[in-house]
Amino acid sequence: MGIFHDEGFHPNDPSQFHGLEGAAQEARIPNKKYLEEIKRGLELGLEAAPSIGDRTISTFARGELPHWAGINTFLKFPYLEDVNKVGDYECAVMGIPFDIGTTYRAGTRFGPQAVRRISALYTTYNYEMALDMRESLDVCDLGDVFTIANIEKSFDQIAKAVSFVKAKGVFPIMIGGDHSIGYPCVKGIAENVDGNVGIIHIDRHVDMQEKDMDERMHTTPWFHATNIPNAPAINLVQIGLGGWQCPRIGVKESLKRGSNILTIGDVEELGIEKVAEIALETAWKGAKAVYLSFDIDSVDCGFVPGTGWPEPGGFLPREVLKLLRLVSAPGLAGMEVVEVSPPYDCSDITALLALRAIVEVMGTLVVNNHIGHGRFGENEGKGSPGHSGKIA
Ligand SMILES: [Mn+2]
């Protein structure tokens, strides 16, 4: 029964709609960090010229506004030059500008830059979640991992970087880069988990063969990741696969190893909620932690032209964002977003969706108290009771 026909419907009753509920909760969100940012801006960037009426404005832009100004970090969170201090934060974003694992179009080495650039468009506040991440989560941008023109040596660099952050108890977010980085990212996570790591892999491609053209390319990450003793294939769930781009050799390997595949056809038939339920059941079965690998090409290529292997018929953005929220709600050990190739993008839309995927997961983790210090300032900060053991 639609609520408009329900006798109990009252216009402007916040409990009736998500939107009104979100709006009603806005007043409960602290603005401490916002005020600190303004104060800092005025100190470091000088008070504005006398003719400017709004005295929160500084002479040199030093905060969120104007959205078109500034040297962009991820969501304008602080750039942490000294990585030794990453333990002071709850969440760290790093770019992995690596694309020599690509087997068709390259360009994903510019993915981190593009995602950071378009992140200037966003605020840290989400209306529907009634969340302001600036107030609820201490985030830093670590800049990029130094990757070089050698796949194996770059894997070592990436695994070391991820492991370093994870070992400090900080939630790591990796912005690729091509999908070959999935293997070293999982390696860096798994080293720091006392038990098995499940993997939720959202993609149009299987990425499960041992080698491609004699190297460990972006068609191979899950073969190698599931060879890690505490990242067994039985906890790998691959969602959204299908079409005409999955090599037979990779499909054969997935079947042999017992990973769980849900094609985009399965998604259509089962619906997003059921798929999320199956994914969580598979990934968490006997596992201590779950890692999320989101390939932007899982979305219909009409929405993501800026990617290396575009494929029609994938997820709609709204579907995949819902799936991401559902699978991250019980907590994650880390996440990666891969295959954004800005040279093929239009109007930054592919980078924007990658960004949206990241903030959707971050927000969900904060709202569910896995990271951060609570939506309404209820937890003190890092190490507070709201800090779930599941991300350990
Ligand atoms: Mn893919």
Which tens digit of pLDDT belongs to each residue from 31-67? Answer: 999 999 999 999 999 999 999 999 999 999 999 999 9
In angstroms, what is the span from residue 298 Cα to ligand 1's centroid?
A: 6
Task: Mark the residues whose beta carbon lies below 5 A from ion ligand 1.
Answer: 203, 205, 295, 297
In angstroms, what is the span from residue 28 Cα to ligand 1's centroid?
A: 41
pLDDT band (50, 70, 90) for residue 149? very high
pLDDT reported for residue 385:
37
CB of 140 within 8 A of CB of 92? yes
In angstroms, what is the span from residue 246 Cα to ligand 1's centroid?
A: 9
Instruction: With a cut of 70, say whether residue 389 has pLDDT above it.
Output: no
In angstroms, what is the span from residue 201 Cα to ligand 1's centroid?
A: 10
Percent of the chain scored above 70 by pLDDT? 94
CA distance linking residue 334 with residue 237, whole number of Å? 16
In angstroms, what is the span from residue 88 Cα to ligand 1's centroid?
A: 34
In angstroms, what is the span from residue 300 Cα to ligand 1's centroid?
A: 11
Joined tokens for residue 32 = 């401490």
The average confidence (pLDDT) of the chain is 93
N-terminal to C-terminal alpha carbon distance within the chain: 43
Q: What is the pLDDT of residues 189-218, one digit of tens each?
A: 999 999 999 999 999 999 999 999 999 999
CATH match of 74-391 with 3.40.50.300: no
- The residue among 202, 220, 205, 251 whose CA lies nearest residue 151 is 220
In angstroms, what is the span from residue 203 Cα to ligand 1's centroid?
A: 5
E strands in 82-121: 91-96
Joined tokens for residue 74 = 């991820």
Go through 82-120 and write b for each residue having 16 or more CB atoms within 10 A of its CB, e for each that does not.
ebeebeebbbbbbbbbbbbbbbebbbbbbbbbbbbebbb
CA distance linking residue 392 with residue 194, whole number of Å? 9
Please state the rounded mean pLDDT for residues 92-115.
98
Please state the rounded mean pLDDT for residues 302-315.
97
pLDDT band (50, 70, 90) for residue 390? very low
Of 33-37, 295-299, 388-392, minimum mean pLDDT range? 388-392
In angstroms, what is the span from residue 240 Cα to ligand 1's centroid?
A: 10
Q: What residue has token string 């830059």?
A: 113
In angstroms, what is the span from residue 309 Cα to ligand 1's centroid?
A: 7
Statement: the pTM of the whole predicted model exceeds 0.75: yes
Instruction: Count CA atoms closer than 13 A to 159's CA, side-chain side.
Output: 19
Higher-confidence residue: 335 or 377?
Answer: 335
CA distance linking residue 270 with residue 232, whole number of Å? 25
CB of 332 within 8 A of CB of 291? yes
Instruction: With a cut of 90, say whether residue 392 has pLDDT above it.
Output: no
In angstroms, what is the span from residue 258 Cα to ligand 1's centroid?
A: 20
In angstroms, what is the span from residue 148 Cα to ligand 1's centroid?
A: 22
- CA torsion angle 109 111 116 120 (round to 10): 140
In angstroms, what is the span from residue 238 Cα to ligand 1's centroid?
A: 11
At 320 the three-state DSSP class reads: helix
pLDDT band (50, 70, 90) for residue 220? very high
Provide the residue ranges of all domains of the chain, joining segments of one domain with +: 74-391
CB of 98 within 8 A of CB of 154? yes
Q: What is the pLDDT of residues 360-388, one digit of tens each?
A: 999 999 999 999 999 998 776 554 333 33
In angstroms, what is the span from residue 11 Cα to ligand 1's centroid?
A: 45
In angstroms, what is the span from residue 122 Cα to ligand 1's centroid?
A: 26
Instruction: With a cut of 50, say whether residue 144 has pLDDT above it.
Output: yes
Strand partners, 139: 91
In angstroms, what is the span from residue 251 Cα to ligand 1's centroid?
A: 14
pLDDT reported for residue 18:
77
At 295 the three-state DSSP class reads: strand
Please state the rounded mean pLDDT for residues 312-333.
98
pLDDT band (50, 70, 90) for residue 19? confident
Q: Residue 10: CB partners within 8 Å, gap ≥ 6?
A: 16
In angstroms, what is the span from residue 222 Cα to ligand 1's centroid?
A: 12
Our measurement of the distance from residue 172's CA atom to the centroid of its chain's CA atoms, rounded to an integer in Å, reads: 9
pLDDT reported for residue 261:
95
